[in-house]
Every structure is written in C-alpha cells, then in structure tokens.
Amino acid sequence: MFECKQARSDFLNDSHNAAETTKRLRALDERRRTLERLLGMHEPSLRKGESLFPEYDSIDMSNFEHKTYRKVIREISVLQARLYGKTKFDKVARYQCANLCFLVVEEGILQDHEVPLYWGLLVRRDETLAVARQPTWQDVPEPTRLELLQRIAMAGARRLGRELGVVPEERKP
C-alpha cells in the first residue's frame, strides 16, 4: 500500500495515534463527569428534575457558562474528531490492509523518526524514489487483501454511480 503526501500538514492530519488519543479522551470524559457531578451539587438550578433522587438527575449545562467545563468539552470534541478521522496510518497497520505500507513524500516533508509504526518511507529525489526507511512485513492472508480491494472497488463504483446519477437495481431476496 502506498500513501502519498505532498505537504507536512496533510501527513499530520492522518498521523495521530488511536491508543494515545483514546487514553486522553477517557481521562477527559472522566473529568467531564466529575465536573457535571460537582456542578450539579453546587448549582441545583442545573438539575433537570427528572429523578426522585438528585444524585441521579442529569444536569443541563447548555445555558451555564463555566470556563473549565467548556474547555474540557472543546478538547473532547477535538479528540473525538481526531480519533474518528485522523488516525489513518494507525488503522491501516492495525487492520492489516497490506503486507507492506509505504509513505511516499517529497524531500523535507517529514523525518525518519516521524514515520508511523510498521510503515516504510519513500522520498522523491529528482526523478527517483529512495527508500529512507524499510517497512515491517505483515503477514496478511490473500483473502483479507482481496476483500479490502473489493471494498475499495465497491465504494468507488457507488461514488461514481451517484456522480453519474445511476441508481443500482435493488436486490431481491
């Protein structure tokens, strides 16, 4: 598998580590729950009054301004966006999409130590590609590789069909 990057910002967009992001997200979510519990105790007006016992009441923070709480919510939002959309390299290696994965870049876009785990690095120098880092071989069974290729082809065909206004016939049971 080859992933080409023309700019450093493009590389950084896809290179976040899912495990580290998840760990930070878990800690922030715990902080959010703690803040909501404490604010619910100190600001009874935030409680929705939907439970017989106040400790089980949910609170409505939509109209309440609290700097720390808003900061935690913003950071959770950023991490969720990162986790669900900016971990391409991590996912490709984890899902074993190919036996070998290479990043193909222009010279100066990234350093060897920045290359994601299991990936190799090809750097374009003039009209040639130089191997700056060897990838780690992953034993991926042929059926797994073929299934990935089939899914990519199906997604491309669906997209092209939508662009051309062609609607596939419905399958009959």
pLDDT in tens, 94-124: 777 788 889 899 998 887 777 887 888 999 9
Q: What percent of the chain stands above pLDDT 90? A: 9
Question: Where along the chain do its domains lie?
Answer: 1-14+101-167, 17-85
Percentages (nearest 5) of helix, strand, coil residues in the chain? 50, 15, 35
Q: How far is CA 25 from the centre of its chain?
A: 12
Give the residue ranges of the chain where pLDDT is below 50: none
Alpha-carbon distances of 22 from 29, 81, 85, 87, rounded to whole Å? 10, 11, 13, 11
Task: Say what the pLDDT of residue 71 is.
Answer: 92
pTM of the model: 0.54
The four Cα atoms 78, 83, 88, 93 give a dihedral, to 10 degrees, of 150
> What phi and psi, each to the nearest 5 degrees, are found at residue 121?
-130, 125
Residues 6+ apart with CB under 8 A from 138: 93, 96, 98, 99, 100, 118
Contact 78, 97 (CB under 8 A): no
